[in-house]
Amino acid sequence: MRFAMPLTILGLTGAGIAFALLAGSYAHFILALVALTTVVGVGLNILVGLAGQVSLGHIGFYAIGAYATAILTLKGLSFWLALPLSGALAGIIGAALALPALRVSGPYLAMITIAFAFIVQHGTIEWRELTGGQNGLMGIMPPSLGPLAFAEREMAILSTLLAGLALYLFHRLAGSGWGKAMLAVRDSETAARSIGLNPVTTKTVAFALSALFTGLAGAIFAPLMMFVAPDSFPFSQSILFLLAVIVGGAGWVVGPVVGAIVTVVLPELLAWLAEYRLLLFGALLLVTLWLAPAGVIGTLARRMPRRKPDAGKPADIDLQSFLGRGASSALDVKGIGIAFGGIKAATDVSFTAAPGRITSVIGPNGAGKTTVLNMIGGFYRPQSGEIRLGAADLAGAPAWRVARAGIARTYQTTQLFGTMGALDNVLIALRRGRLGNPVKALDAPADRRAAAALLAFVGYRGAPDTAAADLAHVDRRLVEIARALATRPQVLLLDEPAAGLMRSDKAALSTLLRRIADRGIAVILVEHDMTLVMGISDHVVVLDAGRVIASAAPAVVRRDPLVLDAYLGSTAYARPRAAPWQGPGDPVLAAVKLRAGYGAAAVLDDVDFAVRPGEMVALLGANGAGKSTTMRAVTGLLRPVAGAIVLEDRDIVDLEAHRIAAAGVALVPEGRQVFPELTVLDNLMLGANTRRHVDTSAELNALLTRFPRLRARLANRAGLLSGGEQQMLAIARALMAKPRILLLDEPSLGLAPAMINELFEALADLRDEGITILLVDQMARLALTIADRGYVLESGRIVRAGAADELAHDPALEAAYLGHAEAEQ
Amino acid sequence: MLVVSAIISGLGLGSMYGLIALGFHVTYVVSNTVNFSQGSSMMLGAVLGYVFGIRLGWPMPLAILIALILCALFGLVVERTLVRPFAERGSNAWLMATVAGGIVLDNSVLFTFGKEPRGFPSVLATKPIDLFGAGVYPLQLVIPLAGLGIAVALHLALNRTRVGKALLAVVQNKDAAQLMGINVRLAVASSFALSTVLAGLAGLLIAPLYSVHSDMGTLFGIKAFAVAILGGITSAWGVMLAGLVYGLLEALVTAFFGSTYTQIVVFSVVIVALTLMPNGLLGRAAVNKV
Amino acid sequence: MPTRTRIPHVTRRLLLAATAATVFAVPALAQDTLKLGLVAAMSGQSAKSGEAIVRGLSIAIDEINAKGGLLGKKVELLVRDDESNPAKGAVAARELVQREKVVALFGGLDTPVSIAIVPFANQNKVPFMGVWAAGTPITRNGAAENYAFRVSAVDELVDVALVEYAVKKYGAKNPGMILINNPWGESNEKGLKAALEARKLPYAGIEKFETGDVDVVPQLSRLKQAGADVLFLVANVAPSSQVVKSLDRMSWDVPIVSHWGPAGGRFSELAGASAAKVHFIQTFSFSGNDSPKAKALFEALRKKYPEIKSFADVTPAVGIANAYDGMHLIALAIGKAGSTEGPKIRAALYEIDKYEGLIKTYAKPFTPTNHDALSAQDYIFTYFKGDEILPLTQ
């Protein structure tokens, strides 16, 4: 299996040479062009398939290679010297082009490469003394090797050999540390930096190598044609090169071969069409793209059974000495702070994370936990304070340097390198940014064993080469932790590792975290699952509104009234319904056995609930329990879902989101999501978008009386409003739709207490006016004071349902938020 | 005089580039994709206008109207067949598909319309008038005004009409727009129709100054893309501004340094400008969230 | 949320089958014909030139076939599109010679494409007949055994004629050049400079413009400031008209002496009233041409291509005429040689004594030292009156 690809390449090269020996001279020519296009394709494949960059300017490198060889050989230099020199020249220019190209992406990058192609083209036209101008350079003689003067057949063989070599080198590169690093940067630049990879380096190398291959191909093209002119390198050829890679299948070793055959041989087969050739060629390309959007090889590969991976080898390496690398030092965070556009996200945050201990950072949503992690990890530059690891102050250092200094991290939403296998994810991290020989396989046996051992250590039991994007949720978490450990960190930052995990997985996770700490690593944990946090932490730091409000042992923190208020909200200013709700029994909205999730991971598991006309129902639960997912499922933003969602008598489970909205479901989404560039008035009017014949002024007036703060700001851009005002606007906007039911997702999130008071006052008014409401809010106690009934979600299941006042005193509620008390022992 | 005529030339061309580039902007902000056959759309507008207005002799306003309607239809077809099938799968093969679509359209027109460049007569481009000592056709003054007018009209349509605001809502937040009952797919399709109409309009405006043939849009398409990027493809005003800057740069470099280096200088400026301002003149950075 | 647009399986199969069918259904080879190949720009902005050449060649071939063909075989023309790209042209020439076994090749409009093909033709001893591209090195390529011939203008000679006309007619002392930025423009830049040098004349400036340029005022303003008294114009019909329109706007009434570009299409339609001010060189024109051959050819064209109604529809006439005469000359040589072997045809081309052609009566059109059938004496200056090309009496 290991030699399958080299043998395939050898076979292809052999077939090419055999063809060259047997066929006539026209065929030689075509073969040479296929081979040269393959070489260019391989070059572009490095850029497109590995580094994930796009170039529409490769004809420029091709022309540079061709002209360099033409000029040098016409000046009397041997072709065999001119060839490498031309390649090197193209490579150097490629590296230089990488500098502007690195700062941009997407269409901006495409434009820079297009501009480059045009500059080269006009350069070849205008630099006449050197390039012969528009009419080009003629009389470029094919090389000779000893007594053998090259004719077309020999040129074809030379091109084929170069193509074979290029394919082989690509195969090796793709398996090497460099190739994997390029993939890693492409899949997640963020995560790549946090395992010590410098994206600037990998992208520059990708550009240079890509240009080098293209330049070499051009260098053979010149003597093959015996003539070069600017018109030999039209811009459209650039597009064809890129097309060859895409049609073949970007990232696949032999993709460029298929692409080259399609883009070179197909037009030849169509040559008899004369003036209609381009038309049909264009049409056939479209057909190919429609039939094989992932490229020919990519689409074929998807149909083939995946080969069975070799089972992971038993972990026979000494993880203790691998992970515990000498004396670890504590991480000292001293007074760090940062503000975004005047809003202080973190202020004067200090704590120490000692080696061998688990330090948890907790706090309600928006408290600034992830901001603090991002400052430690080098993604944000703190505006004040110090971050010390041993003697080094790392505040403001780039992420890849922080990673190399010994701080590893995981992410709230896993940032694995999706196209790479689980084992490869760990292997690339083992390098800590030192990528080694670009043609040597990444997986040296010792490294492979270490990576397998790490995977086993974190409890990953899946196949080692399953692509990370296809992993189950829990496995993604585990592999991400293994990858972080592979950098042999002194400090491990974990951002909500338990989010979305099943209870049994959480138990395993807490054991794992303890074992990691036991290896002498300082573990810093940001987590919402309080059972977990309280169970395993040695020290807990509580943040609220960007400040540390408590810093102590878990048992102490748990009883701190400040902390309890921050989490559950007080009930001080809410107004219950005057008389208990009574109404008809037929629900306005009901979910029946609702199942939903993102990708492979199921988030909702047989959720049932109902909201009756005029009723206010609260949906409660900790972060990650599935509340927002429920809201997205109901409103159609998340599809597909299983089960039924019934609005009055109609199943809306298959409707598109905008039709559900038109049917009378209005959601005030989490984070407000007002249209920031539109005025307050426009936002409100959009709320009535699905309705016709609206008495605008009367309705607006009524709303503005309800939310007087908005009246003065009617003409302002919504983005300029404060958080509380935006929340009012979002609610008012939803009310403009005159919905059958109003859904509210975390309306109190990130609001100041006075604002929350006003908000709940307004919600109580709505309730009293008979509007049907489904409310999701982390301020559970507060929500229950105004709601009639409630449901408690935990890990995607409804665990409690009942009247609001009963639920408010149910210990299950507190447990759902702050963890089960029994776990404390 | 050299300066005046160069400035007038530059502004006229620049607003043309700006118009086509606005088409790139519109689809990009709505759907994160662009139609790389914009140049062909421009050609289509001019060719259809010629066929209806000159060859078939329809009244010009009618000819222009029908031409633009067909351009819009072409935009819908592009979106439905060349962009959506790929973009919805997360593949960026739409880039290649729209390029291939452009090739197909150009060549289809070559065989149906004819291979000869044709002149598009216009009363606005027969007698030059004197402006600060430089002669210009009235149409050359109309083009920047029309360019500006269309940009302003677009701005008003987006900001003053219900449909326009719905489109802006889609641009700013797709999820929230759906929650307002806005059909996002329809919005994306409309943005493509709008973008081809803008290009078609540009083609119709420039045809009398130029000539009508199947290949007329190729270079314009590329330059307009450069303009869209230079301006910052996320900003409509940036794109219009970049169009003027680009046109002026071309004309002034030619006037003062000779035509030899025009393209080299202009494309170098594009690279340097993007290096210094990775999001173009007025474009906004994509927010990078960890 | 996105519902996948999937192409049903059956449709997929059909599409595949259709694709395969189109690709491999190369037309059934007509048996035993004498094949001749043409490599020219058939698509893109020069598509019209390729069409004209095909028309000229086809009418000549029809005439030949009506008389029984050549060497007892019908003559067949194979056309390949080079997309104006020398590399594509080089491939197409090889395909025609090696796969289709054509007896001779015809070349198209682009000089670089011809330059890319000629070495191959020489190497493989296949006669190459240029009927358009005017670049000097095509026929004067320095090969010991030269197989490249031409029935078309030669830039160097045209440029001499242009300079002479400018001096004689307008008394040019400080001419300026406005040239299209392509190989043709560059070749004439060299030729014009040499021709001016030979007369010890200075030039006001050399300005270039792109085919896609809408506004040439900046370039022309530079020439005006430099005091140009006559302009040499080298560009195809559409760009030429851009120059005229820009001059109009500048209200700069300067004499224009042009290469044959304006003859390539509806120049007066494109350039407007001022089109008549451009005096351009020609080798052939239908209008005002009384020769029976020209009339017969026009009738034949009208019959074969119904869209042709008037002289204005047969553009570019030079392309048609050159191709027509070139075809007949090759046919004459093949007949004389009695063989399809390249060296024999080449020898026979030298032996052609006198041939009553369309453009002129050729007397010894080709000799081992001269592979160009047309010479400076064959150039006439013409102008557009309405949509007709009329000769200028000097």
Question: Which of A118, A128, A134, A632 to probe the C interface (max C CBs under 10 A)?
Answer: A134
Which residues 6+ apart lie within 8 Å of A327 measured at CB?
none
- Check residue C54 and give its pLDDT: 95
C97: closest chain A residue by CA: A26
- Closest by CA to A189, choosing from A201, A177, A179, A198, is A198
Confirm whether A328-406+497-568 and A613-635+656-820 share one CATH topology.
yes
| Of the partner residues B165, B264, B280, the one whose CB lies closest to the CB of residue A686 | B165
Confidence category of residue C1, pLDDT binned at 50, 70, 90? very low
Tens digits of per-residue pLDDT, C187-221?
A: 899 999 999 999 999 999 999 998 888 889 889 98
More confident: A719 or B245: B245
pLDDT at C28 over 80: no
- Closest by CA to B213, choosing from B119, B89, B77, B78, is B119
Residues found in chain C? 394
Partners of A242 on chain B (C-beta within 8 Å) are: 96
- Taken in order of first residue, the domains within chain B and their CATH numbers are 2-276 (1.10.3470)
Q: Is any Cβ of chain C less than 8 angstroms from the Cβ of B77?
A: no
Partners of B86 on chain A (C-beta within 8 Å) are: 289, 293
Q: Is any Cβ of chain B less than 8 angstroms from the Cβ of C270?
A: yes
A638: closest chain B residue by CA: B175
Q: Which CATH architecture has domain A613-635+656-820?
A: 3-Layer(aba) Sandwich (3.40)
- Check residue C5 and give its pLDDT: 40
The answer to whether A680 and A660 are in contact (CB under 8 A) is no
- Closest by CA to B66, choosing from B80, B55, B46, B52, is B52
Partners of B42 on chain C (C-beta within 8 Å) are: none
pLDDT at C10 over 60: no
Residue C306, class by beta-carbon neighbours within 10 Å (0-12 exposed, 13-18 middle, 19+ buried)?
Answer: exposed
pLDDT at A325 over 60: no
- Check residue A101 and give its pLDDT: 82
Tens digits of per-residue pLDDT, B183-211?
A: 999 999 999 999 999 999 999 998 998 89
Q: Which chains touch C (3 or more CB pairs under 8 A)?
A: A, B
Partners of C311 on chain B (C-beta within 8 Å) are: none
Nearest C-alpha of chain C: how many angstroms from A389?
A: 46
| Of the partner residues C22, C78, C110, the one whose CB lies closest to the CB of residue A280 | C22
Nearest C-alpha of chain C: how many angstroms from B156?
A: 30
Q: Hey, are the CB atoms on A226 and C181 less than 8 Å from each other? A: no
Q: Is any Cβ of chain B less than 8 angstroms from the Cβ of C84?
A: no
Strand locations in A528-649 (E): 539-544, 547-552, 589-598, 601-611, 616-620, 642-647
Q: Hey, are the CB atoms on A291 and C85 less than 8 Å from each other? A: no
Q: Is any Cβ of chain C less than 8 angstroms from the Cβ of B210?
A: yes
Q: Is any Cβ of chain C less than 8 angstroms from the Cβ of B254?
A: yes
Average pLDDT of every residue of chain C? 88
Partners of B175 on chain C (C-beta within 8 Å) are: none
Q: Is any Cβ of chain B less than 8 angstroms from the Cβ of C257?
A: no
> Which tokens hold the place of C73?
């075989």
Partners of A37 on chain C (C-beta within 8 Å) are: none
pLDDT at A312 over 70: no
Class of domain A328-406+497-568: alpha beta
Q: Is any Cβ of chain B less than 8 angstroms from the Cβ of C180?
A: no
Partners of A141 on chain C (C-beta within 8 Å) are: none
Question: Which range is most confident: A455-459, A460-464, B286-290, C344-348?
Answer: C344-348
Q: Hey, are the CB atoms on C315 and B2 less than 8 Å from each other? A: no
- Check residue C142 and give its pLDDT: 86
A273: closest chain C residue by CA: C80
Question: Which of A150, A153, A231 to probe the C interface (max C CBs under 10 A)?
Answer: A231
Q: How many CB pairs under 8 A join B and C?
A: 104
Confidence category of residue A546, pLDDT binned at 50, 70, 90? confident
| C136: amino acid identity, one letter | T
| C-beta atoms surrounding C377 within 10 Å | 9
Partners of A269 on chain C (C-beta within 8 Å) are: 23-24, 26
- Check residue A545 and give its pLDDT: 79
Partners of B233 on chain A (C-beta within 8 Å) are: 107-108
Domain ranges of chain A: 12-303, 328-406+497-568, 419-488, 613-635+656-820
Question: CA C191, C195, C196 angle in degrees (round to 5)?
Answer: 120
Averaged over B147-172, what is the pLDDT?
86
Partners of C207 on chain B (C-beta within 8 Å) are: 258-259
Averaged over B255-279, what is the pLDDT?
88
**What is the DSSP track for A504-539?**
HHHHHHHHHHHHHHHTTPEEEEE-S-HHHHHHH-SE
- The b-or-e profile of A260-273 (16+ CB within 10 A means b, else e) is bbbbbbbbbbbbbb
More confident: A288 or C394: A288
- Those of residues 141-200 in B touching chain C at CB distance below 8 A are none
Q: Hey, are the CB atoms on A234 and C86 less than 8 Å from each other? A: no
pLDDT at A820 over 70: no
Partners of C242 on chain B (C-beta within 8 Å) are: 210-211
- The residues that bridge with A668 in the sheet, in sequence order, are A744
- Closest by CA to C273, choosing from C165, C383, C390, is C383
Nearest C-alpha of chain C: how many angstroms from B206?
A: 8
pLDDT at A760 over 60: yes
Averaged over A491-502, what is the pLDDT?
84
Which residues 6+ apart lie within 8 Å of C350 measured at CB?
C366, C367, C368
Nearest C-alpha of chain B: how many angstroms from A628?
A: 13
Whose tokens are 């398939």? That residue is: A49
| Of the partner residues A26, A138, A270, the one whose CB lies closest to the CB of residue C98 | A26
- Check residue A573 and give its pLDDT: 60
The CATH number for A12-303, chosen from 1.10.1790, 1.10.3470, 1.10.260, 1.10.287, is 1.10.3470
Partners of A682 on chain B (C-beta within 8 Å) are: 165
| Of the partner residues B119, B210, B255, the one whose CB lies closest to the CB of residue C269 | B119
Q: Hey, are the CB atoms on A108 and B280 less than 8 Å from each other? A: yes
- Taken in order of first residue, the domains within chain C and their CATH numbers are 34-153+293-376 (3.40.50.2300), 156-282 (3.40.50.2300)
Q: Report the distance separating Cα C103 and Cα B211, nearest Å.
A: 39
Phi/psi of residue B63, each to 5°? Answer: -60, -45
Averaged over A460-488, what is the pLDDT?
87
Q: Which helix (H) or strand (E) segment is A789 a member of?
A: strand A789-794
Nearest C-alpha of chain A: how many angstroms from C251?
A: 31
| A633: amino acid identity, one letter | A
Phi/psi of residue A784, each to 5°? Answer: -70, -25
Averaged over A619-648, what is the pLDDT?
86
Q: Is any Cβ of chain C less than 8 angstroms from the Cβ of B107?
A: yes
Partners of C210 on chain B (C-beta within 8 Å) are: 219, 263
More confident: B290 or A748: A748
How far, in Å, are A508, A513, A532, A554, C243 from residue A825 at the CA level? 17, 17, 12, 11, 91
Share of chain A above pLDDT 70, in %: 92
Nearest C-alpha of chain B: how many angstroms from A389?
A: 22
ipTM of the complex: 0.91
Q: Is any Cβ of chain C less than 8 angstroms from the Cβ of B129?
A: no
Averaged over A252-279, what is the pLDDT?
88
Confidence category of residue A321, pLDDT binned at 50, 70, 90? low
Partners of B92 on chain A (C-beta within 8 Å) are: 54
Range with lowest mean pLDDT among A237-241, A244-248, A544-548, B83-87: A544-548
- Check residue A788 and give its pLDDT: 92
pLDDT at A493 over 50: yes
Confidence category of residue C240, pLDDT binned at 50, 70, 90? very high
Confidence category of residue A247, pLDDT binned at 50, 70, 90? confident
pLDDT at A126 over 80: yes
The answer to whether A326 and A490 are in contact (CB under 8 A) is no
- Check residue A2 and give its pLDDT: 66
> Which tokens hold the place of A616?
């206010």
B272: closest chain A residue by CA: A100
| Of the partner residues A115, A293, A675, the one whose CB lies closest to the CB of residue B168 | A675
Q: Is any Cβ of chain B less than 8 angstroms from the Cβ of C212?
A: yes
Confidence category of residue A176, pLDDT binned at 50, 70, 90? confident
Nearest C-alpha of chain B: how many angstroms from C358?
A: 24
